[in-house]
Amino acid sequence: MEMNEIKTAQAPAAIGPYSQAIKAGGFLYTSGQIPLDPVSGAVTPGDITVQARQVLNNLQAVLRAGGSSLSDVVKTTVFITDMNNFARFNEIYAGFFTAPYPARSCVEVSRLPKDVLLEIEAVAVVK
d(CA 38, CA 65) in angstroms, rounded, equals 14
Bridge partners (DSSP) listed for residue 124 = 28, 73
- At 101, which amino acid appears? Y
Residues linked to residue 78 through DSSP beta bridges, in sequence order:
106, 120
- Measured CA to CA, the distance from residue 63 to residue 6 in angstroms comes to 9
Pick the catalytic residue: 50, 70, 92, 106?
106
CA proximity to 88, closest of 62, 106, 101, 100: 106
Q: Give the number of residues written for the chain.
A: 127
Question: Catalytic annotation on 106?
Answer: yes
Task: Look up residue 53 and give its amino acid.
Answer: R
Active site (catalytic) residues: 106
